[in-house]
Amino acid sequence: MTATLPPQLAELVDDFSGVGPKDRLQLLLELSQELPELPQRYADAADTMEQVHECQSPLFLAVEVDSDAERRVHLFFSAPPEAPTTRGFASIMHTGLDGEPAADVLAVPDDFYTALGLGEAVSPLRLRGMAAMLARIKKQVRNAIAT
């Protein structure tokens, strides 16, 4: 599966699939601490970003697409510090997709997250939140490149 993923996302999938379930959860928690701070223009997340209601914790995201030929995607997430699983998912998306060309982001399989092996570490409800994040990212990318 990793052949169809952008390089950074493929590397994360390899990292997660290469360790046991407890270590996957630890890796997710470590990633949650690496989620970048929001730029000032998104300081009021509820007003300036799209909420992903499927996530169990409040998560907001914004997608920007460069206007050049590469149409590189830039992702911004807001999730509370007390929601490490949600922040970890957002960090996976940011690490794996930020800066990638729009076409590559749109080509990510909708169920790529199953290859992370998190099904044994977190609830299916939480995994649906991650699927919803990717769906919203793709929707915003499509909207941005259509204009």
The tens place of each residue's pLDDT in the chain, 147 residues long, gives 445 899 999 999 999 999 988 899 999 999 999 999 999 999 887 788 999 999 889 999 999 999 988 899 999 999 999 999 999 999 999 999 999 999 999 999 999 988 998 887 788 878 888 999 999 999 999 999 987
How is the chain split into domains, by residue range? 2-37+45-142
Name every residue whose Cβ is closer than 8 Å to that of residue 96 and which is 6 or more positions away in sequence.
Answer: 5, 6, 8, 9, 12
Q: How many other CB atoms are there within 10 angstroms of residue 98's CB atom?
A: 18
* Cα 35 to the center of its chain, rounded Å: 10
Structure tokens at 25: 């959860």
Q: How far apart are CA 115 and CA 15, in angstroms?
A: 10
Q: How far apart are CA 115 and CA 10, in angstroms?
A: 10
Residues in the chain: 147
- The yes or no reply on domain 2-37+45-142 and CATH 3.40.140.10 is no
Predicted TM-score (pTM) of this structure = 0.93
